[in-house]
Structure 1
């Protein structure tokens, strides 16, 4: 990993009929962003110029045909297709979904080959991206296949971090997925991420119970007593500062989450409903556990406001900031790992 100076941020365009292009362009209209990083948007400069004109935005675009042609300090648009695209803001369009995936696959390839330092993905429509060539529920599953490690969804907003034991799993199947192996793997992934990605030396992790009132001693389900508790004890006995399972209903309302560096929910909505309530549109979806860095905003395509120029870009901007911060943190972690004595001497 190179020293963190003007990081190259690769950006996949997402669903062109959604708000992705708008929040990307609004983020980089602020020239100060280009002092922190150099964006490379995987799309087509003519299509983006059309969207820019339609929405009356001002971000200057620099079209390139090869990644090697990128210019530091400019908003680079790498042309990964040549033809025009018929856009109809707010519509679910299978053809537009193909371009979203074309952009994402090209950006992932560039990330693997170190042409970009981090990847920020604009929102896709999980329905219209499906094809014979792409049969993944979303970004994370594809990244887990293409990159080294074990992907884990970690929602981030300042010191609030919420991870998931299961993510895109139907509620009636969650209990079937919970087992000791899964819990050990997910907690270890979160612990390692907190250390190397967020600079927390001895992280404290809270785990939410699956059942109401943590099962009430088996009266409302046995999973918490028979699976989660003994697994957490095993982790704690080996030195991981993990606590729980806590009854989920009052955990956030009583501000207990503030005592921990991360909270682990057992299923998707259990974690994301309180997270999105507390983060007020400034949250970031970070894919922890991989050898590369990927973030995204915490919202979807927002078809209902697409093309109107009113989309809030704060979450996308925070996704860029978070990717940069994690890159810097990993760089520092690697430096310390290479020479811990020298680093300690500097601190003294």
Structure 2
């Protein structure tokens, strides 16, 4: 899938200023709340006002959005405050109503992206409609689902597309509400080079104090924009109260962000960077040569195990490797957790190689 930047609503905005700024309340709760928030955010220079009209909640009985009347409030944001507006849609009926009220941009939520049948229905409902669409990553860490959702809209003629990274649900403890798993959106960006990538630090972090550092990390990874939830009084918000900023806090955050360029015109930087990259290339080649040497030894021990009818997995050896390698790394000033994860991959490849030998 190739996106033509000259036809992309988001790319045109990015030509004026980076990063693209999208902000507004998690949920539209009242007309006064929507207008107050929009007026305050207009002074911060946002590009797009967002508000949830239909809220897919995990538990029944919680606030599930105000519905169609909220679209009337967003119409006032457009006409009276002069901000373009965006809402989440999850059914063809949502799309019909959003188009009826002239919503500028639609977004597809994480719980919707996970279902290809629903995504296809939404894409078909937009066939022949020229409207920008943002697609959040699926709840689970599945790059194919995310890419597939974008391609379904592209196949129906939607050319103004953007991806929103809002983090992933994973097992185990995590400091954030949703694990960032940065490698997944980076891989998406590498596949679709002209696709704008927007971070949603509110849903990744789940708490206000995480929003600034997560946003800065995303900008340092060359993200194109941010979508941040803002409420005039987060303490009384009907949904996601802990992750919403006040308009004043959002404005202050923008002053603290550092937006860096992808390159530097400084010849000294370019020469030094090129020299260091060449050294990194050489180091990588040496690492791969050493891995090849290790795998050759793995094949030899696999042959001995087969000849002597010994199991592939030796738990004592497994435990020894995962005790000693991180310890070696720590002594060399390296991140022990990184080396432990690396050796899990190496050991799994060793098991795969020995399994091939056993099955010959």
Fold shared by both chains (TM-score > 0.5): no
| TM-score, structure 2 normalization | 0.30
| TM-score, structure 1 normalization | 0.30
Indicate the structure (1 or 2) with the bigger Cα radius of gyration.
Answer: 2
Indicate the structure with greater strand content. 1
Indicate the structure with greater helix content. 2
Larger relative CO (CA 8 A, sep 6+): 1 or 2? 1
